[in-house]
Amino acid sequence: MILRLSGVRVRWVILALLFGFAFVAYMQRTSFSVAADQMMPDLGMSQVQLGWLVTGYLVTYTACQLPGGLFGQWLGLRRSLVIAGGVALVASTATPLAPMLFCGTAMVAVLLLSRLVLGVAHAPVFPVSTGAIEAWFPPGKWGFPNGLQTAGLHVGSAAATPVIAFTMQAYGWKNALLWTAIPALLLVLVWAWYARDRPSQHPGVSAAELAELGAEAQAPAGPTLTRADVLRVVENRDVLLLAVSYTIMNYVFYLLGTWCFLYLRQERHLSVPESGVLGALPFIAAAIGCTVGGKWCDRLTTRFGLRIGYRAIPLFALPLAGVLLFAGVKASSPYTAVVLLSLAYGITEMTEGPYGAATTAVSRKNAMAAYGVVGTGGNLGGIIGTPIVAWLSSHGAWTAAFITGAAAAIISGIMWLWIDCSRAMEEAPSAAHGN
């Protein structure tokens, strides 16, 4: 039996659950970065070794972006996220359990395996969510739900930073990481019960909501993704340009999202509790930026059309973020630095809605696969950046690390001059016949 919420459209409940998957995924991965402050001395790990564990996660997470999107289109968004969420739950729990059950080389192997599997499990979340938003929201109104869903990852990171910091101070890093299994399990169970692949399949969707979504929401699911569909996606000029721009932008994303806590501890010499609280501020700013940017994206697109509407925010926001990032690391006060870095992160993340909506506008029914390509590019920014930042920070060169991020923000914004999302890719003949 499906719960009906009076006056609430089912699509907003679906979006809330997608927000939850982003929240849990980034709670799981950010908790690991925060716990590293105790984990490294407890397990005798160096900062460079920690960087390689983070990179191992990023390698599988990045490599499985496109397969994750194809997996979602093949299996459907409901079942694919149940499977992905369940595997992520097991992998994240294995990280704190490994040192309790193993030692030496075996422990390191289990830690690495758990990070690799977690990357595989998290990979489908955003490609599948992008396809879900295409199916569940009206055309041209994809910026806000994409931005709001992405805000979930920042809220998850913001919650994890102080909670894990304080919990590991009281109970140790292993116990602090184990608590993350509770919300993850609850989310998977609720999603399995409530979600459906398409609005027409959901018993809670009213005739009025179906009419709002248009004829495509009432149509049955099309045929399985074909090889021709995949080729159209991976060869599309604008999808590839979005992927390259997203690669460079995500250097900034991973720099701020992964390393802020350790930056405040090591470079600004703040205590663990203080770093935990202040380290949450960039994530809060990023969550606000995602939401506001997505809303403005839809308004600009309605007023100026796809080509200008999707470009406007990234062209302005990303270079401004680069300037703020540079100013933040040059600030003499650690509190001024936190404010400036938070603003830089928030303004950078205003572009998440445009990236997701632009990918959807170009690819439509193949949005999961297309975002798999864009997400692959985006996460290459983390693979490229994480070893660089780990090496620079281990040598005390935190300022140099953040200056490279400032340059990346500016370059990624300029690239939007060549992206035109009004050029939607043509459907493969098999897909066209299936509609």
Residue 290 near residue 148 (C-beta atoms within 8 A): yes
CATH of the domain at 198: 1.20.1250.20
- Answer yes or no: is 22 within a domain: yes
- What whole-number percentage of the chain has pLDDT above 70? 94
- pLDDT at position 217: 61
Q: What is the mean pLDDT of residues 221-229?
A: 71
Summarised one tens digit per residue, pLDDT across range 31-84 is 887 888 888 888 887 777 777 787 788 889 999 999 999 999 999 999 999 999
Instruction: Compute CA distances 293 → 148, 320, 329, 353, 375, whole Å.
Output: 9, 14, 25, 6, 19
Tell me if 108 sits within 8 A of 322, measured CB to CB: no
- Does 340 fall in a domain? yes
pLDDT tens string 328-386: 989 999 899 999 999 999 999 999 999 999 999 999 889 999 999 999 999 888 888 88
Residue 5: inside a domain: no
What mean pLDDT value characterizes the chain? 88
Residue 434 belongs to some domain of the structure: no
The rounded distance, in Å, linking the Cα atoms of 362 and 191 is: 28
pLDDT bin (cut points 50, 70, 90) of residue 434 is: very low
Which position has the higher pLDDT, 242 or 155? 242
Q: Specify whether the backbone of 236 is left (phi greater than 0), alpha (psi in -120 to 50) or beta.
A: beta
CA distance 46 to 39: 10
Position 430 scores a pLDDT of: 43
User: What integer pLDDT is reported at residue 219 of this predicted model?
Assistant: 59
Distance in angstroms (rounded) separating the CA atoms of residues 405 and 400:
9
Rounded distance between C-alpha atoms, residue 230 and residue 233, angstroms: 5
For the segment 18-22, the average pLDDT, to the nearest whole number, is 96
| Cα–Cα distance, 164 to 284 (Å, whole number) | 16
The structure's pTM equals: 0.86
**Over the Cα atoms of the chain, what is R_g?**
21
Residue 335 within a domain: yes
- Indicate the angle between helix axes 398-414 and 237-266, nearest 10 degrees: 160
Tokens at 113, concatenated: 């395996």
Enclosing domain of residue 240: 10-428
Taking the C-alpha atoms of residue 9 and residue 363, their distance in angstroms, rounded to an integer, is 25
Report helix, strand or coil for 279: coil
**Interval 197-206: pLDDT, tens:** 999 899 998 8
Question: What is each CA distance from 377 to 58, 342, 355, 388, in whole angstroms?
Answer: 12, 24, 12, 17
Share of the chain residues as helix, strand and coil, in percent rounded to the nearest 5:
85, 0, 15
Q: What is the tally of structural domains in the chain?
A: 1
Residue 4 belongs to some domain of the structure: no
Tokens of 230: 């995949």
CA–CA distance, 362 with 260 (Å, rounded to integer): 34
Question: What b/e sequence results for 194-203 when a residue is b if at least 16 CB atoms lie within 10 Å of its CB, and e otherwise?
Answer: bbbbbbbebe
- Alpha-helical segments (H) within 236-333: 237-266, 272-278, 281-304, 306-330
User: Distance between CA 51 and CA 265 in Å, rounded?
Assistant: 16
